Chains A and B, each alone.
Chain A
């Protein structure tokens, strides 16, 4: 295997330390607890507001560390940004439409 003639672009394998990933996991659990706590103790606008702020942070943690986006070539982050912009455009236009009916 070691002397295989594989001629692909040899990729630098960057391995994130296990300890870092465990910390990310702990962070995700704490953020989940905050979201749940806010919805229980401050139902209504505060609870929804906290969820709207905290959930994207959780998503960013998963994308950057678990899905390795932080360590990939920049093109992967740009690609992701394009997908998010498309989604946000569709959402924005739809909400604009419905909120003015």
Chain B
């Protein structure tokens, strides 16, 4: 749009993909430090309450955790394929892969829903007096579990919203083979969500 206007008026449009990408990475670093802080808290409390953490981890569903890892890793691949397709000028294929990525993100949240619901039925959820009756380490483990997977889940939801917006922009043509930054940075964000999950898996699901 702006380029057409520029062509009409003779103005030069300045674009800076390197600067934009630098900004995106800086944002990703803040995300890294945000989750990093939670990882520090987890590690210190696990050091102090090792036995309780092992006991509490038995409550988590390993199959669901591993399945969700598979889902997220696959969604990262489909996101990469969507970006590559757009860069090659294959708009339709790019939209298809982006839609698949979106559906995989949905799948992740649905599995997460059933997982959390099972915890709820076992009276394990933040704020429940039952948690306070458990040994201190188990209480900490479950609160950290909900805090960290919850914060990660919020990131998944935000990712899905951004994907929907980019999907519309690709369809309308404002994001295209020449100007693909918006999709590329959405991809970076999505891979970070995947990256954080990779660390959450051994921390919570494989601890016993």
Contact = CB atoms under 8 A, between A and B. Distances in A.
B6 A4 contact: yes
Contacts of B16: 8-9
Given A6-B13, A29-B73, A62-B76, A55 B191 contact: no
Contact of B3 (A4, A32, A59, A91): A4
Nearest to A43: B208
A52 to B, nearest CB: 8
A98 B44 contact: yes
How many B residues touch the partner, as a band? Answer: 35 or more
B204 to A, nearest CB: 11
Nearest to A54: B202
Interface stretch (B28-36, B108-116, B134-142, B155-163): B28-36
A90 B12 CA distance: 45
Nearest to B33: A87
Contact of A91 (B15, B36, B194): B36
Contact of A95 (B44, B176, B191, B195): B44
Contact of B77 (A8, A15, A21, A63): A21
B191 A66 contact: yes
B14 interface: yes
B17 A9 contact: yes
Given A9-B18, A55-B202, A62-B191, A21 B47 contact: no
Given A1-B178, A32-B69, A25 B40 contact: no
B84 A21 contact: yes
A13 B176 CA distance: 13
Interface in B179-208: 180, 187-188, 191-192, 194-195, 198-199, 201-202, 206-208
B7 interface: yes
A19 to B, nearest CB: 11
Given A18-B81, A90-B36, A79 B3 contact: no
Given A11-B18, A16-B84, A66-B76, A39 B25 contact: no
A35 B14 contact: no
Contact of A15 (B14, B73, B88): B88
A69 to B, nearest CB: 9
A91 B43 contact: yes
A9 B181 CA distance: 13
27 contacts: A4-B13, A4-B178, A7-B12, A7-B15, A8-B15, A16-B80, A18-B84, A22-B77, A24-B77, A25-B76, A28-B73, A32-B66, A32-B70, A35-B206, A36-B62, A36-B66, A39-B206, A55-B199, A59-B195, A62-B198, A66-B77, A66-B191, A67-B188, A67-B192, A80-B25, A91-B36, A94-B40
Which 7 interchain pairs have the tightest Cβ spacing? A8-B15, A4-B3, A51-B202, A39-B206, A83-B29, A25-B77, A87-B36
Given A5-B13, A80-B29, 17 more contacts: A4-B4, A5-B3, A5-B6, A6-B3, A7-B15, A9-B18, A11-B18, A32-B70, A35-B201, A39-B206, A55-B199, A59-B195, A66-B191, A68-B188, A83-B32, A84-B32, A91-B43
